[in-house]
Amino acid sequence: MEGVRDLERDLDDMREYYRHGNTREASWRKSQLKGLLTLLEAKEGDIFKALMHDLGKHHVEAFRDEIGTLTKSLHFALGSLKKWMSGRKAKLPQIALLTTANIVPEPLGLVLVFSSWNFPFGLSLEPLIGAIAAGNTVVLKPSELAPACASFLANTIPAYVDNRAIKVFQGGQAIGEQLLLQKWDKIFFTGSARIGRLVMSEAAKHLTPVTLELGGKCPAVVDSLSSSWDRKATVKRIIAGKFGACAGQACIAIDYVLAEKKSAPALVESMKVKINEMFGKNPKESHSIARIINKQHFLRLKNLLEDPRVEASIVYGGSLDEDSLFIEPTILVNPPIEAAIMTEEIFGPILPIITLEKIEDSVQFLNSRPKALAIYCFTKNKSLERKMISETSSGSMVFNDAIVQYAADTLPFGGVGGSGMGRYHGKFSFDTFSHEKAVMRRSFLSDFWFRYPPWNTNKLQLLESAYKYDYLGLLLVILGLKRSR
């Protein structure tokens, strides 16, 4: 109980700090963002060590996917903050004489960010950047499944930001449940759909708005490509978009491939060659592929592979080392569609390839399944491209590459349907943690008498004209030079 009282006391202090307007000033927001930038620069080596400890990430991969993208995001936010905070003018109908309007962003208040373990820094600090830029007080709950990273965030962030407004709470399920019982002005959650439902259910009790960044079996649709260069680029980007993204433990990693039956054998052979080039003949010794986060997830992946029907479809890889939590990059061809490996998000270094008679059949295949967080399509066929855009639905769509959309600050990142709700990155993060308030100003000099009671037929005609015409049209009606009907 004492811990709960301490938590509630901390949150009350943060609400009070927010009410005093401390976080609304541009100077405060910039100082916090600069503090995070300094943290990334000063503690880069420690961040690499934490990521190696929890996930076995090579420091180059760690820089590419976490420190590098965060540094870029912070610079973007710092350079754009004045414009984001200024709001924008709203266009009004001509009938609104001597009236102006603006849309003014204001912070939501006290917000809660639940981050995930697979990109423990990126998925913690990216939403934090948006919440700070928007002027909120923020509680960050990092995932306990990446304990070294969570400990680093909890122990280091307070030295670089205003700890009266930004706090990190460590812990497992118990602290998560206690946090969800509190009243928040916004909850931002990254994780599984199962936990996302629980978060949304608890948030509903306080009518708290939520952003849910969930998973989704992200497909790669691979068309037959005539150019040798295009085929090589496709294979390289698929392998990197699956095995090079935290060993497939990424919500936007390629989950499975759809390819034409006639081209699948050549695709598989090219993939084998490229895996050897990227990770060597013994990937476990290359240190270029991350390991599975923990034994529970390892056993889940092992069970997926040990389904006899799935095991029979393995054409490459398949070796596992439980002691080191390592799974070799593995390729399957046509595992049963109803098997768990094709109905659950894989979240590991296992890549099924499903063959189709013609690549256009991929649209029907995708539409028969839950909406993906991302669809990747490798093609030069403009007709297929238009078909994919207009006839499928996903959080994002990328042609001829994978995962790169995550690094684009000018694009919204988020899911649709079962893959999530809401969006963030860049200005979209700022908007996610802001309320857009409509502000209208009217002059005392102009008014229309027919908007007020008592009512009569003449006023009805004038009101109809007001909604139908611009100011000049209404004036003509009033003068009797134009009929209202």
Q: Assign 3-state DSSP to the chain and report helix, strand, coil percentages, each to 5.
A: 50, 20, 35
**Pairwise CA distance, residues 166 & 33, whole Å:** 12
Q: Is 218 a catalytic residue?
A: no
Q: CA geometry: angle at 351 spanning 349 and 356, to 5°?
A: 170
- Say which residues have a Cβ less than 8 Å from residue 355's Cβ, sequence separation at least 6: 259, 260, 261, 264, 333, 334
Residue from 351, 356, 403 nearest 376 by CA: 403
Q: DSSP letters along 243-308, please?
A: TTTGGG-STTS--EEEEETTTHHHHHHHHHHHHHHHH-SSHHHHS-SPPPS-HHHHHHHHHHHHSH
Q: How is residue 254 written in tokens? A: 């390629």
N-term to C-term CA, the chain: 70
Q: CA geometry: angle at 45 spanning 42 and 47, to 5°?
A: 90
Q: Is 246 a catalytic residue?
A: no
Burial of residue 452 (CB within 10 Å: 0-12, 13-18, 19+) is: exposed
Tokens 């490229």, residue? 274
Catalytic residue among 66, 213, 260, 345: 213
Sheet holding 330-333, edge to edge: 314-316, 330-333, 350-356, 256-260, 219-222, 372-378, 394-399
Look at residue 20 and give its three-state secondary structure. Answer: coil
Residue from 46, 58, 50, 393 nearest 243 by CA: 58
**Pairwise CA distance, residues 36 & 160, whole Å:** 6
Look at residue 472 and give its three-state secondary structure. Answer: helix
Running DSSP on this structure, what letter comes out for residue 142? Answer: -
Catalytic residue among 251, 328, 345, 377: 251
Residue from 281, 315, 294, 196 nearest 249 by CA: 294
Q: How is residue 146 written in tokens? A: 């990446």
Active site amino acids? 213, 251
